[in-house]
Structure 1
Amino acid sequence: MKVLFIGDIVGNVGRQMIEDYLYRIRKDYQIDFVIANVENATHGKGLNRKHYDFFTFEGVDCMTMGNHTFDKKELLDFIDEADRLVVPFNQPSILPGVHTRVFNVKGTKIRVTNALGCVFMDNRYSNPFDHIDDYLNLEQDIHIIDIHAEATSEKIGLAYYCKDKVQAVLGTHTHVQTADERIIDKKVAFISDVGMTGPYLSSLGCDLDSVITRMRGLSSKFLISENSGQFSGVVIEFNDKHQPISIERVLINDDHLYRAS
């Protein structure tokens, strides 16, 4: 069983990278199941119905979110019928959405759960460690957690805490792919951050001129860059016992041309 997890998809450029590369990667790597973090997919913040349908059409089997989940209020109009969408379990309890889902993939039950970090994050979100136990003894063959967080310490801490109960803990949010992929104690696949699928020549997806203006102390709205794109992801392979046996980074941009595995 091979699972592709795609890092934070940002704006139009990120969506174009999905259109350009997802089918090829799925075929070349013999991918069985695709997960993507889409919380920045619609103009950099949130997700609308048009783009949810776009990702479904392009072959994304499950979509996870983060701190921008409800930045596009349109999500409230279709969230109850969005059966591929998973939202963070430690968001404010008044907010709607499913926090964990099981997908049947060739007879294998793959569970995807979404969590938000609280270190250096908005204080509206409760501590994921206060809730994670509620999700560690559910029924599935493979359990994958997207931990959308700033601090690498929080991400690896959660992975270590969960290592006997889940098969993968994958970090998102910081938009920079890390080089620390590993199988912790031969039990759980981990990476601090899968990276960003979006504008390559940018500041985390934002137009550099608008970012520099803000950094110089002037008022400036962050604009989403329309420069050339980047695709970031990881491919995790599981054996017949549903144990992770490898995790491989995928990075495509102007400096890393696509080469099939």
Structure 2
Amino acid sequence: MKLLFLGDVMGRAGRAAVVERLAGLRADWGLDFVVVNGENASQGAGLTPEHAKVLLQAGADCLTLGDHAFDQKDMLSFIDSEPRIIRPLNFSKVAPGKGAKVFEATQGRRVLVTQALGQVFMKRPFDDPFSALETVLKTHTLGAAVQATIVDIHAEATSEKMAVGHWCDGMASLVVGTHTHVPTGDAMILAKGTAYLTDAGMCGDYDSVIGMEKLEPLRRFITGMAKGRFEPAEGPATLSGVYVETDDRTGRATKVRMIRVGGRLQEALP
């Protein structure tokens, strides 16, 4: 199976890049299933129902969220009516929506998508991501109950993301980090067949400070004082993420590579 995961969509520029490019990538690369992290798609903080529909109509099979899952209050009610949106497993025991779901890909193949939040350096405490993932992954056996499993670990610390990757090795087709908006160069296939990337980066304008217009972040770093709001940068956006090919029989990854298309960080296609 050919899988694509795109990192955090950042504001209008990120949405536009997905709309303009994803359908073409699906056709050109023969993609079977696409996951997009949309948690910063609406003004850089959360996801509105309207923008969720835009990303799904553009070709995403599933949207994951993150620690800003419900910054846009309409998502609290919308997520229960849209099964293609996944919030973090360990966000809150009373949060609406689901943290894991099995989807149907091409040729009737089944893909599990799940997401967990890290605990290290995060602004608020979340439940243990390892135990949250354990229940889901052991219930949906890779290569038996599902033909592929994608784990989005939305976390600040690279060490925590790596630990989750190694812990999930053999139980997932792909473990990919999100949240920091900076793509890492460590795409690999782990010992038991799980593809791994510490951070998928963002789909947004990289002439920025992690997707935000530079002036206000620079002012705060230099002076320690805020003058205005953070605003998403709106220059040419790069689609950043990871491409994976898997063996349908085992669910294990056979190929993995970083993807950067368009904007300022473009590189060769798979």
What is the CA–CA distance in structure 1 between the aligned matches of 2:239 and 2:263, rounded to whole Å?
A: 10
**TM-score, normalization: structure 2?**
0.93
Query: 1:199 aligns to what?
Result: 205
Deviations 1:87-143 (A, max 9, x none): 101112121110100011122110000100010012331221232221121232211
User: Any idea what SS the aligned residue of 2:80 has?
Assistant: helix
Matched, 1:170 2:176: yes
Deviations 1:52-71 (A, max 9, x none): 11112111000001000000
Select the residue among 233, 240, 245 that pairs with 1:237.
Answer: 245
Query: 1:84 aligns to what?
Result: 84
Superposed counterparts of 1:4-43, under 5 Å: 4-43=4-43
Equivalent AA in structure 2 for residue 178 of structure 1: T
What is the CA–CA distance in structure 1 between the aligned matches of 2:248 and 2:95, rounded to whole Å?
A: 38
Query: 2:214 aligns to what?
Result: 208
**Root mean square deviation, CA, Å:** 1.4
Equivalent AA in structure 2 for residue 75 of structure 1: M
Are the equivalent residues in 2 in contact too, given 1:28–1:260 (CA < 8 A)? no
Query: 1:137 aligns to what?
Result: 138
**TM-score, normalization: structure 1?**
0.96
Equivalent AA in structure 1 for residue 212 of structure 2: C
Equivalent AA in structure 1 for residue 210 of structure 2: L
Are the equivalent residues in 1 in contact too, given 2:10–2:203 (CA < 8 A)? yes
Select the residue among 185, 188, 199 that pairs with 1:179.
Answer: 185
Query: Are the structure 2 counterparts of residues 61 and 248 from structure 1 closer, same or farther at C-alpha, using a change threshold of 3 Å?
Result: same
Deviations 1:160-179 (A, max 9, x none): 11113222111001101100
Query: 2:165 aligns to what?
Result: 159
Query: Are the structure 2 counterparts of residues 10 and 255 from structure 1 closer, same or farther at C-alpha, using a change threshold of 3 Å?
Result: closer
Are the equivalent residues in 1 in contact too, given 2:148–2:248 (CA < 8 A)? no
Are the equivalent residues in 1 in contact too, given 2:259–2:269 (CA < 8 A)? no
Query: 2:74 aligns to what?
Result: 74
Equivalent AA in structure 1 for residue 41 of structure 2: A
User: Any idea what SS the aligned residue of 2:139 has?
Assistant: coil
What is the CA–CA distance in structure 1 between the aligned matches of 2:261 and 2:137, rounded to whole Å?
A: 34
What is the CA–CA distance in structure 2 between the aligned matches of 1:83 and 1:109, rounded to whole Å?
A: 15
Unaligned runs of 5+ in 1: none
Unaligned runs of 5+ in 2: 141-145
Equivalent AA in structure 2 for residue 46 of structure 1: G
Are the equivalent residues in 1 in contact too, given 2:118–2:154 (CA < 8 A)? yes
Deviant stretches of 4+, over 6 Å: none
Query: 1:247 aligns to what?
Result: 256
Equivalent AA in structure 2 for residue 204 of structure 1: I
User: Any idea what SS the aligned residue of 1:233 has?
Assistant: strand
